[in-house]
């Protein structure tokens, strides 16, 4: 039987490419070029599957140019780069990589939150500039993390992992807001208290964002929300750019309406709002919350597992739109070479 052809849209671990090559004809992207929409649509010609990352946008236009495409496997837990409804309408299976990155991402979110609270980046920059000439009682005084109130917006897997760190490791009080409330047996071990969004903003000493990006969460934190926060509070975003209004955040930081922020994700990344680059009270990292060698490898392997199983008649471990499988529409698609 003729082997299916797949596109691996970005550079990835050679071992994962080798695994995929055992099953498919693989078109790789060793130069790691970022394909804009027309280039991506053209590269997908003749491909039954695609291994993507957050930088590839899969929408109706790309799908309509490639009616032979059957599976898009994202190497990320977030999938706002996919138009899932458009995939489902065309019988294209979409998959992501949940679970394998939960603890690693929570580690990083907690580290960023601590870095903002204790002014680590700001004080390091001061030291590197050669401005440290003496110790003083109020130099870079921040706010405590232990015993403080941790606010979590979005209480999925990563939110709960952060809550465990805060409650069990640092004696923090945990409050959260989410579309749905956790079951009492999930709230109890971490003492998590469900509050409305305004209360979350008002009461949190350290607010961490871990909700998915969608039209509904666009600018969930803007000028009005920042105005509700304590002037001593910190804001950390390890979710997605666009959830925070970056321009409004820069103003709030400059005017010390909140104490500090830590961002791993940005509106329009890899571009960063220029005002965020000049405010001192911020920690900035280039979308690396899941970036440990082991976790990135697990993510790549899971994306590959999804692609392999979906295209060889197996059960993909982490489908986003499993209705495509249930309705048997994936199998109906005739792969075209």
Footprint of ligand GLV (CB under 6 A): 54, 76-78, 101, 290
Nearer to ligand GLV, 91 or 156 (CB): 156
Nearest distance in Å: CB 318, ligand GLV: 12
Six-digit token string for 1: 């039987």
Bridge partners of residue 51, in order along the sequence:
8, 73
Nearer to ligand GLV, 49 or 54 (CB): 54
Residue 206, number of CB atoms within 10 A of its CB:
29
> Within its chain, how far is the Cα of 335 from the centroid?
32
* 217 contacts 211 by C-beta, under 8 angstroms: yes
Is the C-alpha dihedral spanning 48, 53, 56, 60 positive or negative? positive
Nearest distance in Å: CB 25, ligand GLV: 27
Active-site pick, 202, 254, 287, 298:
287
Closest CA to 208 of 233, 245, 182: 233
Radius of gyration of the chain (CA): 22
Active site residue 125: no
Active-site pick, 119, 269, 273, 296:
269
Nearer to ligand GLV, 217 or 290 (CB): 290
Nearer to ligand GLV, 9 or 259 (CB): 9
Phi-psi region of 56 (alpha: psi -120 to 50; beta: other; left: phi over 0): beta
Nearer to ligand GLV, 229 or 265 (CB): 265
Indicate the helix (H) or strand (E) that contains 157.
helix 157-164
Active site residue 287: yes
Nearer to ligand GLV, 5 or 96 (CB): 96
Active site residue 25: no
Distance CA(315)–CA(114), nearest Å, equals 40
Judged by DSSP in three states, 260 sits in: strand
Residue 251, number of CB atoms within 10 A of its CB:
14
Active-site pick, 118, 240, 273, 296:
240
Six-digit token string for 244: 């925070």
Nearest distance in Å: CB 276, ligand GLV: 18
* 253 contacts 221 by C-beta, under 8 angstroms: no
Nearer to ligand GLV, 203 or 264 (CB): 264
Residue 332, number of CB atoms within 10 A of its CB:
9
Nearest distance in Å: CB 78, ligand GLV: 3
**Could you tell me where the DSSP H helices lie in 256-334?**
274-278, 293-311, 323-326, 329-332
Nearest distance in Å: CB 68, ligand GLV: 27
Six-digit token string for 254: 């400059």
Which residues are CB-contacts of 220 (< 8 A; sequence separation ≥ 6)? 153, 209, 211, 243, 244
Catalytic residue numbers, as ranges:
240, 269, 287
């Amino acid at each position: 039987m003729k082997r299916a052809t797949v596109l691996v849209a970005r550079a990835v671990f050679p071992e994962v490419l080798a695994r995929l090559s055992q099953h498919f004809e693989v078109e790789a992207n060793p130069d790691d070029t970022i394909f804009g929409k027309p280039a991506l649509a053209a590269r997908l010609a003749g491909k039954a599957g695609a291994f993507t990352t957050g930088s590839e946008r899969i929408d109706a236009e790309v799908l309509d140019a490639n009616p032979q495409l059957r599976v898009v496997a994202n190497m990320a837990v977030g999938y706002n780069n996919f138009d899932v409804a458009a995939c489902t309408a065309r019988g294209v299976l979409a998959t992501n990589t949940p679970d394998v990155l939960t603890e690693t991402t929570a580690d990083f979110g907690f580290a960023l939150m601590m870095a903002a609270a204790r002014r680590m980046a700001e004080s390091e920059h001061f030291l590197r500039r050669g401005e440290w000439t003496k110790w003083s009682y109020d130099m870079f005084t921040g706010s405590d993390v232990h015993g403080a109130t941790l606010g979590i917006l979005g209480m999925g897997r990563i939110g709960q992992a952060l809550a465990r760190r805060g409650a069990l490791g640092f004696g923090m009080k945990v409050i959260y807001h989410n579309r749905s409330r956790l079951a009492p047996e999930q709230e109890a071990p971490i003492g998590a208290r469900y509050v409305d969004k305004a209360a979350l903003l008002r009461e949190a000493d350290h607010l961490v964002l871990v909700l998915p990006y969608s039209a509904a969460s666009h600018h969930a934190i803007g000028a009005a929300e920042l105005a509700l926060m304590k002037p001593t509070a910190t804001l950390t975003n390890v979710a997605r750019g666009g959830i925070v209004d970056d321009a409004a955040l820069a103003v709030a930081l400059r005017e010390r309406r909140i104490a500090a922020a830590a961002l791993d994700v940005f509106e329009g990344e890899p571009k960063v709002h220029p005002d965020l680059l000049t405010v001192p009270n911020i920690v900035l990292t280039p979308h690396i919350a899941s970036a440990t060698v082991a976790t990135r490898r697990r993510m790549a392997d899971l994306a590959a597992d999804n692609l392999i199983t979906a295209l060889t008649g197996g059960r993909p471990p982490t489908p986003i739109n499993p209705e495509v499988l249930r309705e048997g529409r994936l199998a109906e698609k005739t792969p075209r070479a």
